[in-house]
Structure 1
Amino acid sequence: MQKSIQFKNKNWEVAAYLNLPENFDENLKQRAIICVHPGSSVKEQTAGEYAKKLAQEGFITLAFDASFQGESGGEPRFLEDPATRVEDIKCAVDHLTTLKFIDNEKIGVLGICAGGGYAANAALTERRIKAVATVSTSNFCRAYKESLDPIQILEAVGKQRTAEANGAEPIIVNWTPNSVEEAKAQGMDELDLLECIDYYRTPRGNHPRSSNQLLFTSFGNNVNFDAFHLADQLLTQPLLVIVGDKVGAFGSYRDGFELYNKAASKSKNIHVVKDASHYDLYDHPKATSEAMSALILFFKENL
């Protein structure tokens, strides 16, 4: 059973789905998992699908739209702000603790792609999170720093902020080209990018609220954020990292191993899904089935 709910982050509402298992009994204290979507995504896509499958295995799950995006509130629209993304997760924990059927000592988090980086980062300082799992995790801002000139971007962001302060309209850019053909015409033919477009911009995974729109000034918040900073000291919860072995330019294979190696967790594991790419782990049955088996075992053992 899926319920549409809202919870607060500061003074706006965050839109979410609460998924209840088939045998749900509100009189029993139960385990819960917060599912965090990738950048450019919404709760109805890959994180929401993992959330539904985990609910079928007996967990209560919560998948939400990031602040400023999807059905969630907050201004300006289409902002990708790492600090707020992390705070969204903490506010989701807040909400779960208000539900009488949640065991507050058995709350975990699962993040996909950039959501994996945000999930790990939230767990550094959110001790109410008792177990952390990531799928195709991306230290999102590291990828931006490597693919763009950060000083040039920051100069451009500063000029745009000055323009907006003086009345100019915000600039909205695309997360990705709108089609594979458009990408190739621009000389972009890397595996992860083409598969990203195939997932988000075709009927395979497209959702109307996943609009491919990003506020340009978001880049000013992103280039200096390191999702794994202090993981070697503060990330002590049990950790499961799931990656595919088909390595693409977005770097989730490398980021997954970096998180695994860096984490201070005494109980940690990295699971490599063979012949799977970053985006195979979003929705391809064989890859997601293997990932789900690992996730179910991990959360049952650690929540």
Structure 2
Amino acid sequence: MYEKTGYLDTQLKLFYLSDTMNWECPYHYHDFDKLTIFLQGRVTYEIEGQSYLLQPYDIVVVPAGQMHRPIISDTSVYERIIAYIAPSFFDIYKQRHCDLSGIFTQLSSHVLRQSQEAGNVYGTACRLRQAWAETDEDVSLLQETLFLELMIYLAKAIRKKNVDYVKTGSHNVKIQQIMHYINDHIAQPLSVPLLARQFYVSPDYLMHLFKGETGYSLGNYITTKRLLAARTLMEKDIPLTTVCYDSGFKNYSTFYRAWKKFYGVSPKKGISNTLSEGPIE
């Protein structure tokens, strides 16, 4: 199964990371939205079968549940600011007529790029970076305030189409198509033979290709996506039996076992949230 990394017990958590580690980050996902301000390094970001070559001050947007990983090219300094954002974070500002959710829902690409001449987004990102050099007791409040300012400017730039979307680089188009198909048909029957027929390849080749590109089996990917869909439905107080079938499981016992194995508790108990030490991504 794909690894779930990072846990959130607050509405917003910010991390500043700068390192020269030569490491390989596996594909993983989060139950919350993630935004990364890339500051420096030689990094390609892969998200749901698409790859993006990053430039300084690019903003990487990963909605909850999407598989992703950074690929570090060498031991150059990899510097970034990462934000974990709970869904309830946006609700507060919607009530104040400030809808920031479009950052994660109105995207043409997972990577946003604004020229330095454009001003607001870039300038606020620079000030946010500088805030990590502060040592005052109120520094965390300053960082959160600057991040909120960045979100407001970014949401406004997206609405007014004043931000550029970074095009994807070379990647396996077939895998990308398969991932899109699975996400679009998650409540419908999905199997290796069915997908092989859909994409005109043999089942063995399909499994080998998917495993080679992502490091995970096709069956595990489908199950993970169905569990994420089930979680979203559960948060809407939909009955568990309906959740089971609407997320693509054939029967409740299969859904129960998959949920219990993945989250460690029964569906009726919801989800166990434990705070982690933070990301390395």
Q: TM-score of the superposition, structure 1-length normalised?
A: 0.27
Compare relative contact order (CA 8 Å, sep 6+) and give the higher one, 1 or 2. 2
Report the structure number with the largest CA radius of gyration: 2
